[in-house]
Amino acid sequence: MFATLSDRLTSTFKNLRTKGRLSEADIDATVREIRRALLDADVAVPVVRAFTGAVRERALSVEVSGALNPAQQVVKIVNDELVAILGGENRPLRLAKNPPSVIMLAGLQGAGKTTLAGKLALHLREQGHTPLLVAADLQRPNAVTQLQIVGERAGVPVFAPHPGNQGHGEVDPGFGDPVGVAREGLAAAKARQHDVLIVDTAGRLGVDAELMAQAADIRDAVQPDEILFVIDAMIGQDAVATAQAFADGVDFTGVVLSKLDGDARGGAALSVASVTGRPIMYASTGEKLTDFEVFHPDRMASRILDMGDVLTLIEQAEKAFDADQAEAMAGKIASGEDFTLEDFLQQMQAMKNMGSMKKMLGMLPGMGQMREALDNFDEREVDRIEAIIRSMTPAERRTPKIINGSRRARIAAGSGTSPSDVNGLLERFAGAQKMMRQMARSGGMPMPGMGNLPGMGGKKSRGRVAAPPKRKGKAAKSGNPAKRAEQERLAAERAAGIAPPAPKGSAFGLGAKEPESVDPSAVDLGALGKFLGR
């Protein structure tokens, strides 16, 4: 969503890095470009004015003029101000001391409240809570049915005493009372000992008095601990007016951004927290129930500035990868066993559990410069590789060398690919297997282009430059004038028969002495001692 804004800001900072000192004109030009980038991203005008004003004031201060690298200092200032307008820091969900904790969802129709109710319920269930969903949206056609399906997929029960509007026109006001449903749901949560109650409410296509009155009545009936305003991150400038109307009418306590995976300009995310003063707590980043994450302002600012979001990537990896499997794999590599296609398939399945490959790669620092390559990346390539491996026999997965021409043809036919695809996979896997063997021998990753370092095992690198051959006969003269003078003096004495011949193996003609016992602690290491901590 923030691709365009990220590209504009990155380009602006690239121009700054070529300058050793920044003048006031340089800073004004940078602030002007940032202002244009934010306005193009559909950020609210008051937010843009406050943001650029704060950046300019700090950029002209001593912290930039006295910095060793003023361009990096400006980037840091922009990052700090982005974090500030995104809410400053993450605020966790407030839960009641005496369960159940009541969470009410509010927002316009089409913002994604019902799907988000299931995502939030799944998120809380994974944390050890026992949520209950309440279908209080009796207005939108089939909203109750949708919530029941979402709840079933999330493994969370749904309280739905009334079917609501089944698509045959407006529901009879006397047939189902949303306020009564919410009140009954709270009683059911207490009776069934659920510790969290999530109430899905109705929305409208626009803000009106009826919508606000119904939301306020439900709020008064269940006394929620949290009122989360669900806003479509793709609606642009209108997000500010809508958020302000709900803040005045319902007084929500937090914001949830939905559809953050869209291709809109993202102005809502940069505006709503600053305008309403309410924190952004969660973000919905896809259609799957697992495409849901806690919103961290500092991490989002890093993504916008193309500095990556490694912490979120690590958290997702910890969820997806099994600790026992990872430990078993590490032990297998350390013991010298070969990395097999079965292991490769296992790792691929764990990566698929983390979500979209594009999304994961996009969290790495500097990937904004490779956005075109990321956009062209085919997610189905992972499925094709998995199909090829699954078309192999267990023996072929363990020992790929036995795969001959006929086996390749059978594997290609079974996976719906071509023999050349099978060949390409086997070649790439052979490279990965070789790297794993090097890691097993060396106890660590070999440094690119350097072969294995001394003491790390492994074969010698082919590209290593051979040492020059030793000179036979006449000893080489030292480059040190004092040592060279000593060499010449000893050579002259030996030629005149004054000095005895140099013992075999001695240096500079000095006689070899018997080894003496030396106290290691008394040895003066000079500059090397600094690196050894002595």
Binding-site residues from annotation = 107-114, 200-204, 258-261
Burial of 11 (0-12, 13-18, 19+ CB in 10 A): exposed
The residue assigned the tokens 């559909």 is 42
In 3-state terms the chain splits into helix, strand, coil percentages (rounded to 5) of 50, 5, 40
Structure letter (DSSP) for residue 417: S
Contact 179, 214 (CB under 8 A): yes
Measure the CA–CA gap between 33 and 54, rounded to whole angstroms.
15
Helix (H, G, I), strand (E, B) or coil at 281: strand
Which residues on adjacent β-strands are paired with residue 283? 257, 293
Strand partners, 203: none
**Distances from the Cα of 36 to the Cα of 5, 11, 45, 52, 234, angstroms:** 10, 13, 11, 10, 19
CB within 8 A of 138, min separation 6: which ones? Answer: 144, 162, 164, 165, 171, 175, 176, 178, 181, 202
Structure tokens at 190: 């207490």
Residue 426 in contact with residue 400, Cβ under 8 Å? Answer: yes
Strand runs labelled E in 286-348: 292-294
Neighbours of 140 (CB within 10 A): 19
Give the strand order in the sheet containing 226-232.
158-159, 131-135, 196-200, 101-106, 226-232, 254-258, 280-284, 292-294
Beta bridge partners of 360: none
Question: How far is residue 529's CA from residue 523's CA, in Å, rounded to a whole number?
Answer: 10
- Rounded distance between C-alpha atoms, residue 108 and residue 182, angstroms: 18
Contact 55, 22 (CB under 8 A): no
Tokens 């004003």 map to which residue?
A: 53
**Which residue positions form the known binding site for GTP?**
107-114, 200-204, 258-261
Record the tokens describing residue 404, joined without a space: 């001959």
